[in-house]
Amino acid sequence: MSSTSDKIKGLANEAVGNVKQGIGKATDNDRLRAEGKAQELKGEAQQAVGKAKDAVKSAIDKA
């Protein structure tokens, strides 16, 4: 997977996670809030992977 697709999927997972958390909070649904938080964290991790891939590629290009 490319760094760009990692970042895009990460942003999408973060957004969906935030929506789930909001709905869970509004409906007092702890399970949905937890699921949303987990998805948000997954998105953050995906974005970090994408950024790391960019950094590695940049370092290789400079070498």
Q: Which helix (H) or strand (E) holds 61?
A: helix 30-62
Query: Is the pLDDT higher at 31 or at 61?
Result: 31
- What does the pLDDT average to over 1-12? 92
Indicate if the alpha-carbon torsion angle 28, 32, 35, 37 is positive or negative: negative
Q: Is the pLDDT confidence value at 2 over 90?
A: no
- For 19-53, the pLDDT digits (tens) are 999 999 999 999 999 999 999 999 999 999 999 99
DSSP letter for 2, please: -
pLDDT band at 1 (very low <50, low <70, confident <90, very high): confident
